[in-house]
Amino acid sequence: MAREKYFKPIDGSPPPLRNAITRKVRFDELDPLSIMWHGNYASFFEEARVALGERYGIGYMDFIANNIIIPIKKFHVDYLAPLVFGETYTIWALLHYNPAARLDFEYQIFSKDGALMTTGCTIQMMLDTQKNILLAKPPFLEEFCQKWRNGLVQ
């Protein structure tokens, strides 16, 4: 696991939640240099983020069931080494604890040999159906975060 670098730890926060997926680079994701086009990493990060959300019951669909959407506010990628055709990579998503009504995700992509290829982050805010920004976490998420702070989330 690479060192985390995008979000400063907030005092008293529980450690980040982590989940990994694997994904192969497909032919249609390559650019003319035969490496993955830089814009396709958004899909890799998103697939890892969605998988973490589903695993913990705090995914897109859980928010939508609570009439909340969670658009991306900030997106960042640092490309360390290129991803190539046919290779399978491991994408870790880490959800960092934040007391505010937002989701702070960090990403790390590793090759099969364990080399760190890419890092990045996204920040999502929460909107209600009238497109107002939520200032506090919705109850279902606050309940989840309480368990998280208490070390009850695996």
The verdict on 74 binding a second copy (CB under 8 A) reads: yes
Which position among 18, 20, 75, 116 is part of the footprint of a second copy (CB under 8 A)? 75
Nearest to a second copy of 31, 128 (CB atom)? 31
The verdict on 76 binding a second copy (CB under 8 A) reads: yes
DSSP single-letter state for residue 114: -
Using DSSP's 3-state secondary structure scheme, residue 79 falls into strand
Which position among 78, 87, 142, 143 is part of the footprint of a second copy (CB under 8 A)? 78
Q: Which conformational region is residue 95 in: left (phi greater than 0), alpha (psi within -120 to 50 degrees), or beta?
A: beta
Using DSSP's 3-state secondary structure scheme, residue 151 falls into coil
The verdict on 34 binding a second copy (CB under 8 A) reads: yes
Token pair recorded at residue 148: 């998280």
The verdict on 153 binding a second copy (CB under 8 A) reads: no
The verdict on 2 binding a second copy (CB under 8 A) reads: no
Q: Give the count of beta carbons closer than 10 Å to the beta carbon of residue 83.
A: 23
- Alpha-carbon distance of 44 to 40, in angstroms, equals 7
The verdict on 56 binding a second copy (CB under 8 A) reads: no
Q: Which residues bind a second copy (CB under 8 A)?
A: 26-28, 30-35, 37-43, 46-47, 50, 54, 60-61, 69, 71-79, 82, 85-86
